[in-house]
Amino acid sequence: MVRSTHSPPSGESGNKGRGIIHSIVRVLNQAWRSERAINRSINVGKMPITCKGKLLRNTLGVFRMREAGFSLIELVVIIAILGFVAVVAMPVYKDIHIEARIASVKASLGGFREGISSWQMKRALGDESTIWPPLDTLATIGRVLLHDIPDNPFQAENRAPDSIVLGVTKGVVVGTRGGWAYNPSTGEIWANTSSTVSGSGCSGSQTINENEF
């Protein structure tokens, strides 16, 4: 569940867009004037003279320089386009990254719950016991889970994101360590984190209630 806690005014993004466009137009105008000055100096057969009276470049040198690369106005256009793409793409990339972490948590919880239910059903069919797997049994690879305990992508690396801690009430975060919380009395397991992710661009901060998945 993703909740947006901030929504910028509808005109704010429009003002930002207009400001970017105006800045690009100003830069392009300056580059165009510089290009015209260079072309005029080429047409008269020499480049502008420095304050010491030395020739900066001869006409042939300028033509070689332009043949070897981009003109000034072309470089400015490319930089402007890349900057605009970065402004538009970064918020989209960040949203995709958040959605990928949410999907990872849900997939991990699905694996946990399937393994816990299977373990409990086998016990119930064997000796009619209805108990859920103890915490140490759940954490032992090969008894409930077939693979290593997955990381909680919302937990910091130095806080044991691939460990399971003892929980009591579903959805309540226990301490500051451990990727997952498990109640062996009820068989419930949940993410042991509740994160808020700062927004960028047109999106505000988001509260990710992954402990409620």
Q: 56-105, pLDDT tens digit by residue?
A: 444 444 444 444 566 777 788 888 888 887 777 677 777 888 899 999 99
Residue 160: pLDDT above 70?
yes
Asked whether the beta carbons of 206 and 2 are under 8 A apart, the reply is yes
Q: What is the mean pLDDT of residues 159-171?
A: 94
What pLDDT shows up at residue 64? 46
Across 116-124, average pLDDT: 89
What pTM did the predictor assign?
0.61
Q: What is the pLDDT of residues 45-68, one digit of tens each?
A: 444 444 444 444 444 444 444 445
> Can you give the pLDDT at residue 84?
80
User: What is the overall mean pLDDT for the chain?
Assistant: 76
Given a contact cutoff of 8 angstroms between Cβ atoms, the answer to whether 191 and 109 are in contact is yes
Residue 44 has pLDDT above 60, yes or no: no
pLDDT on residue 41: 56
What is the share, in percent, of the chain residues with pLDDT greater than 90? Answer: 39
Which segments of the chain are extended strands (E)? Answer: 2-4, 164-166, 180-183, 188-191, 195-197, 206-208
Cα(121)–Cα(129) distance, integer angstroms = 9
State the Cα torsion 149-154-155-156 to the nearest 10°.
120
Residue tagged 């030395």 (tokens): 54
Q: So what's the pLDDT on residue 197?
A: 79
pLDDT of 110 above 70: yes
Q: Which residue has the higher pLDDT, 37 or 2?
A: 37
